[in-house]
Chains A and B, each alone.
Chain A
Amino acid sequence: MIERRPLLDLLTHLMLLVGVAATCFPIWIALVASTHPPERLSQRPLPLWFGDHGWETFSTLLLTDVGQAGGVSITTMLLNSLIMAVGITVGKIAVSLTAAYAVVFFRFPFRFLCFWLIFITLMLPVEVRILPTYDVVAGFLKPAQAAWTWVEGDSWLSRLLGYEVVVAIPNGLLDSYWGLTLPLIASATATFLFRQIFLTVPDELVEAAKIDGAGPWRFFVDILIPLSRTNIAALTIILFIFGWNQYLWPLLMTTDVQMTTVVMGISRMLNTDTALPAWNLVMGTAILAMLPPVIVVLAMQKLFVQGLTEREK
């Protein structure tokens, strides 16, 4: 239904403008603030237009180790965040696709039990299970350690290679990318989403593929994944941002500053005991931290919108 009423149009646009302003103004402030020297930012009123300090701020951030963030360069932090976010996104989608495929298209004993076990984890986000998760991750490799000792792996390997080796297996996955990503990969939301999508695939399509000689793997790769590509795109956006914005878990499980993520870095830069926070650096980092999610959204937007509007049949 389209109504042609100028007043309504005006009101609608006004509302939209207010919404856009509310969203964009903080970003604008951050961008502007990053171009001023820190002294200027402790004065009131806050500047609303660019200063001349931008080059210095961003070159400091990108080219040197930032003392306020614990002596790690922003690029390292960005890289850590990127690895974590991509790891979570790719891992989650891969696990969810295969799990949903198994639950929907295969008949095996305890199928429903499996589905419900996955489904129940919806109620247990990371924040709720953070202590047990920490415990598991911290001792994740202990069984492997024990097994290695039990089979006397070192001596076997030394004999095999002809020289003395000692394999040092750490206790767990703390301070590693595995530790950052694995616990966040296990979740039910994406599995559930893909299950719902797979349920809409008509039986005849499955049968046609069978007659065409497509085995389970071919069907999965050639038909199911292409059919759900718009959903995968949407999920990529959501999961990347979810992974990028992780704070509590990385904070808890990393002690090595080299594993700091950018979100942790920002908060660390704010917690200065002695001096005022270097607001220009904080804002600059925030701007840099915002870029990757924006790039992902822009890259996936076309598919994402297609998924919302197109009904393929």
Chain B
Amino acid sequence: MQTLATSVPGLSALATSGDAGVAHNATGVASVGWLIIALPLLGAAILLIGGRRTDKFGPYLAVALSWAAFVVGLLLIIQVHGLNSGDRAFHKHLFSWIPTGGFNLDFGLLMDPLSLAFVMLITFVGSLILVYSLGYMAHDPDRRKFFAYMNLFIASMLTLVLADSYLGLFVGWEGVGLASYLLIGFWNYNPEFASAANKAFFSNRVGDFGFLLAIFFMFSAFGRVDFAGVDAAVPGTGKGTLIGIGLFLLLAACGKSAQAPLQAWLGDAMAGPTPVSALIHAATMVTAGVYLIVRSHVIFDATPDARLAVCIVGAFTLMFGAIVGCAKDDLKKALAASTMSQIGYMVLAAGLGPVGYVFAIFHLLTHGFFKAGLFLGSGSVMHAMNDTINMRRFGGLWWIMKVTWVTFGLGFLAIIGFPGLSGFWSKDKIIEMAFVGSGWRPWVFGLTALIAAGITAFYMTRLFIMTFHSNPRWEKPEFDPHEAPMTMKVPMIVLALGSAFLGLILGPTNIITNWLEPVVGRQEGHAVLSAPVLMILTFVLMVAGIWWAWRLYWVEVPVTPPVGTPLTRLARRDLGQDDFNEAAFQRPGLHLTRALVFADNRGVDGAVGGLAAFIGGTAERLRRLQNGFVRSYALTMLVGVVAILGVLLVVQ
């Protein structure tokens, strides 16, 4: 870390030259880069405005437009790839958005290797999910709306990664939140989904609050909020400001990427209707926070302190998610916990600075594939099992659903980092980089990442065995498991191939590092333990995890969960995250509200949950100002006037 900090100025200069200096005006395919966003957006508009008339062809149109966006992205990559590594950034000015006097904000697109990598992930995985949904949602009467929301989601996500300024990014950021809100609540009229949607929205709002503050700090410090302008202004800015901006950006990332302390919503969001929407959150949306941090690398390069905070958040969340994942019996929720943990890896890597950015993105890409494969597989299982989601009711499915079994298996092996598969190439690199540095940090972060890898192996094996192996815990007439239709199988197979080979293609060949280096910069680090030692340690821990899970679950899984150790019980309750939130936020908020509420009597009655009893019981005790008596309103005004005059008198 010490060596890193000293090398920062040089690095940021390098990054600046790669990022802001040479963003050419868009030519060729890049000049129509806006099509990438416009195509799915058009799909959403047609489906939503067209109404029931589009019921028949709408879903196919949505899928086609999403693939079209992928094709444009692909052409763009081909164009960019033909250029020198320093010239691979295009800028396209679209229109002048908010001209507020001294501060003009233009809306434009920045197409550089980082954003294009995301474009590929989003359009490819997103389009596959849409194809899969054709099968999965075939019988849903409202599937037109679902496809519209999905297209809206994809368009927002693309806006997020293609915008050329923090404010543009924020537009996509909110759009993603809105679309996710619509998707979580897709199956309406269910109170459980409602509270989940609520929680997701509120956590995200806290994150957004951080984001907006970061934007306003940038605005006051730099006078600009576009990436190029901010990056150029960072070197001459005071440390305090940069730390503030960095921490607020981190808060924003925590909200969107389900990192501590705003992680609570992700598990609940799994209450959403389909594994598809669950997947959208797990594989795509939650990576936005990682993107934000990596995109702001110039700011984070300049503030090791803010980076340390990023590392701590990442390390804490990756352990947190792994532990929670061990105790969940709900297939989707277990996968959600695993997502939280994997994103923790990425955030940790991003916090490590120039040694880690590339691997954060690399892991993000591979994770996008294998986690998508896992979610689609879980959807296939649910589809076969009448929407049952409790793993204790599965078992022995491997023989009946061979394609799902194989594809899910590949995803499973990839996520635990089985040698040769995608996760191995990306995660082992993060673990290695976590050991880079000096002092206590490499040991704390490195060991956390290392041990969590073992736990990952345990909970994923547990999940895999409970679902596909062990004793069948279902009865024939009630459940009639069957393999999924072709539209569902093909995406699963494609994603499984990605889980298997993507890492191999991008990792050892250095394609990904060479591709991203001009944008985020890169630095070789020297781990406190040598790479082979780490690799062996990781492997051993992984095998130990598998073995432990095999020993516990291979033969028999009880249908009713055993009482379990205190830790298990705590983990089942998400390590008390809800209790923590209640104690830390809800209660004080409640007290604050109560304290202020006594100013309003008339507006409050029995319907406001816990407040109601309190209000009812203490109505007489507290003198309320908003009591409907005009005389006390007048008194309020008079007191206000006197107070203001008094203040004035004192001030003068």
Asked if A and B bind, the verdict is no
